[in-house]
A = this chain, B = another copy of it.
Amino acid sequence: MSIKIQVLDNILQMNDSFAEENRRIFKEHNTFAMNMMSSPGSGKTTILERTLERLDPSQVAIIEGDMQTTRDAERLERFGCQILQISTGNACHLDGKMIHDAAKELDLIGVRLLVIENVGNLVCPAEFRVGEDAKAVVLSVTEGEDKPLKYPLMFREASICMFNKIDLLPHLDFSLEEARENARQINPQLKFLEISCKTGEGLEEWTDWLQSKMKG
């Protein structure tokens, strides 16, 4: 299987050179680029809806990655920020080249925050840098405390971990403390937020964090 490994290495190298070029473009525009990742259905798009209610749409652009459908992009259209949809077809993640092509379509002048919503997948997206300044991982509390241990690369790569759907905690056997402990084993620097898009809990802290990065 050495040819497989060689080809994979080449793919990752090619990916990294696009990612570096993307990063140069984002830096040049003073745009904070955040790669948002999670399992399918953890609530990335709903968090983005609640986020866009709280930010100036002219300062935000979104790249939506989905294998199929444009549903997520449609949900965000009403906020009036720039949105670009990437349909990956069979590809299970976004890569540097896709983001490079997308960035060329966006007008980044004045855009302080670019959110890249990745394909719902806790595995493959973590392997592909896209030129982001930070990776955010969303973990729905319905998914169990063990996920950081079972999907360590994702939690190692992330700067911030959002425990989402905490309004459901009274109905679940889920310990936030155990989940945090598991995640800290993988990544002691990881910052945690506890979010509910239903009650609004944690959203102010989240947008404060984003705004501090947008000014940076």
Which residues of A are interface residues toward B (Cβ below 8 A)?
3-4, 7, 11, 39-42, 66-69, 71, 90, 92, 119-124, 127, 140, 142-144, 146-147, 149-153, 165, 167-168, 171-172
State the number of copies, please: 2
Q: Kindly state the separation between the CA atoms of A150 and B41 in the bound complex, as whole angstroms.
A: 10
B144 touches A41 (CB 8 A): yes
Q: Kindly state the separation between the CA atoms of A123 and B124 in the bound complex, as whole angstroms.
A: 10
Nearest-neighbour CB distance to chain B for A195, whole angstroms, equals 14
Nearest residue (CB) in B for A123 is: B92
Q: Kindly state the separation between the CA atoms of A199 and B124 in the bound complex, as whole angstroms.
A: 34
Chain B residues closer than 8 Å to A144, beta-carbon distance: 41
Nearest-neighbour CB distance to chain B for A127, whole angstroms, equals 8
Which listed residue, B67, B92, B142, B153, touches A41 by the CB 8 Å rule? Answer: B142
